[in-house]
Amino acid sequence: MKADDPEDKKNVVKIVESFVFRKHLILTFEMLSINLYDFIKLNNFLGVSEGLVRRFAIQILVTLHFLREKNIVHCDMKPENILLRKENKSGIKIIDFGSSTYENEQFYTYI
């Protein structure tokens, strides 16, 4: 996905490096801010403005369209897996592709 989004416009977390340490695959990613659940929690669950919801929704739809083009199903889309790019900004990134699969492959039984 990184190679298919060189301009970083598809709102998918970018992997920085990967290596094996003591027989474990280690993945490092770009630094991001808090997730949407914690963001709403900080606001005492009072919600956010319609304009902010619209900005988040547009970015999520851009990502979902990109994933659809790649035949990838995320399988764990939730507020905890949507992070703000920077504190006090409305840009977001989708994270946690650990349960994702290609559309034509078998899904986990709990999906």
- The catalytic residue positions are 76
C-alpha closest to that of 79 among 47, 101, 31, 103: 47
Would you tell me how many other CB atoms lie within 10 Å of the CB of residue 90?
A: 15
